[in-house]
Amino acid sequence: MAKLTPIAGAIVFGCLLLPNVGQAATDDVAALRSELEALKTDYTARVQALEARIKQLESAVATAQLERPGATPGTPAPPAFPQPSPVAPPGKSGSATAFNPAISMILTGNYASLSQDPATYRVAGFIPPPSGEGPGARSFNLDESELTVASNVDPYFFGNVTAAIQGNNSIDIEEAYFKTIALNNGFTIKGGRFFSATGYLNEIHSHNWDFVDQPLVYQVFLGGQLAQDGAQIRWLAPTDYFIELGAEAGSGRSFPGTQRNSNSLASDALFVHLGGDVGDSTSWRLGASWLDAQSTRRAYDDVDQSGNALTNAFTGTSRTWIADGTLKWAPHGDPTYHQFKLQGEYMRRTESGQLAFDVTGRNLTGEYDSSQSGWYVQAAYEFMQRWRAGLRYDSMQSGTPSIGLVHLGLLPSTAFPSLASASPERTTIMVDWSLSEFSRLRAQYAWDDARATERDRQLLLQYILAMGAHGAHKF
């Protein structure tokens, strides 16, 4: 079976890249001739357009010359409107810089006031991810400064690199991918490191979120955001409705998988997206995704029944189902003054494999099986131009995982305090003000019952500023 993989891959690529040979053979000289004719017409039209433009410019110059001497007696020209100047657009002058890619830099930072110590933050009942959980540190924080460089590489590929320079002076490559632009029949292939297309929020960069932080279900099940090192193929159906199918294969380096010393693929995903409009004011998207990730010794810190710090590790398979839905409404589809956005996602994850207890000490290993779920629903409403208010509710259901070491009587269940059954929840409100298309200030308040014991009251004030190239955003 393993030998089939390269064969199947070859079929996919061959099918994508080969032209339709049969059809080409039947095309005759007449088609070529008419194409030549059309080309000729195109060039004639371009020459005519240029001639017309020259005439227009000449007449404009003549009018300007006529008007200028006589313009003085009336009211002076208002300074509010600069006259068009016949200069070349800036940045288009030299060939050395003409091919510079689009560069943008996003500045983000916040002030956090948290009623609980963020060092003790943990979503109760779940194996914690190595990072991506919790509201971050207290007081002023420099969040990531996100540098994006993007451009078409050639007629076949588009390239994009997004590097997040973190407040702690480290640099994360968030995304560095190429994407095909020359394939037809609705196919797109992406490769490199990219945010997985599973779920709705996963592909969206943090500066474009409606809240400061990710929903709890993203923090717990995907470590905030799942970035794949791998390849993705998408196919868009040739229909008026939006129907997209896709598959991903990755190394599994990012949570819930782990880096493994293995040639096989360890993070595979399948997804389907549907979308359309209702009238001219409402548009929607629905999605379903499936993620299968392999972990080898995925470690997490915990304490035992006596309160001693130790490290446990999971080895096995993690499967996540995700259902997502997004709806946007704006009067006549124009979000300038009012827009309403409703989105929700449900995830269900099952993990099965081995759980090692106290890997650096007693190192006991037994079976582990869990079936856990979580969801969020959030809404954001632009109630007046540039002002939005938002509400989000998070809920998680840990269930009670089956732990072999406990069943065998080797350890009491209190030896795994992080895995004690819990139903964490959180309610968040938000208001933000966009001074322009490129700057946004936000205040957010959350009642966070993620810890089993005490409520964390979180106030976050955030700025998001975008410099450079005007970005285009996904739905």
Binding positions for other proteins, 378-407, rule CB under 8 A: 385-386
Q: How far apart are CA 417 and CA 407, in angstroms?
A: 16
- Residue from the set 165, 176, 270, 359 that interacts with other proteins by CB under 8 A: 270
Where on the phi/psi map is residue 386: left (φ > 0), alpha (ψ -120 to 50), or beta? left
Q: How far is the CB of 205 from other proteins (least distance, A)?
A: 13
- Residue from the set 131, 264, 414, 421 that interacts with other proteins by CB under 8 A: 264
Query: Between 299 and 431, whose beta carbon lies closer to other proteins?
Result: 431
Closest by CA to 211, choosing from 439, 390, 464, is 390
**96 touches other proteins (CB under 8 A):** no
Q: Tokens at residue 132, please?
A: 């991506």
**204 touches other proteins (CB under 8 A):** no
Stretch that binds other proteins, among 253-261, 370-378, 411-419, 433-441 (CB under 8 A): 433-441
Residues in the interface with other proteins (CB under 8 A) total 101
Taking only Cα atoms into account, the Rg of the chain, rounded to an integer number of angstroms, comes to: 28
DSSP type of residue 158: E
- Residue from the set 193, 205, 298, 328 that interacts with other proteins by CB under 8 A: 328
Q: Where does residue 152 rank: exposed (0-12), middle (13-18), buried (19+ CB within 10 A)?
A: middle
Tell me the β-bridge partners of 158: 152, 179
Q: How far apart are CA 265 and CA 254, in angstroms?
A: 13
DSSP type of residue 337: T
- Residue from the set 161, 265, 391, 429 that interacts with other proteins by CB under 8 A: 265
- Residue from the set 283, 320, 370, 378 that interacts with other proteins by CB under 8 A: 283
**42 touches other proteins (CB under 8 A):** yes
Query: Between 245 and 310, whose beta carbon lies closer to other proteins?
Result: 245
Closest by CA to 455, choosing from 111, 113, 115, 112, is 115
Stretch that binds other proteins, among 114-122, 209-217, 276-284, 424-432 (CB under 8 A): 276-284
Closest by CA to 377, choosing from 164, 201, 128, 123, is 201
Question: Which residues 151-170 are close enough to bind other proteins by CB under 8 A?
Answer: 155, 158
Question: How many alpha carbons fall within 13 Å on the CB side of residue 250?
Answer: 34
Question: Which residues 231-260 are close enough to bind other proteins by CB under 8 A?
Answer: 233-243, 245, 247, 249
Q: How far is the CB of 218 from other proteins (least distance, A)?
A: 22
Stretch that binds other proteins, among 51-59, 141-149, 206-214, 456-464 (CB under 8 A): 51-59
Stretch that binds other proteins, among 4-12, 298-306, 364-372, 454-462 (CB under 8 A): 4-12
Question: Which residues 117-146 are close enough to bind other proteins by CB under 8 A?
Answer: none
Query: Between 285 and 426, whose beta carbon lies closer to other proteins?
Result: 285
**474 touches other proteins (CB under 8 A):** yes
Residue in the structure block whose two tokens are 């739905």: 475
Closest by CA to 345, choosing from 273, 268, 244, is 273
CB atoms within 10 A of CB 31: 10
Q: How far is the CB of 459 from other proteins (least distance, A)?
A: 28
φ, ψ of residue 37 in degrees (nearest 5): -55, -45
Q: How far is the CB of 429 from other proteins (least distance, A)?
A: 24
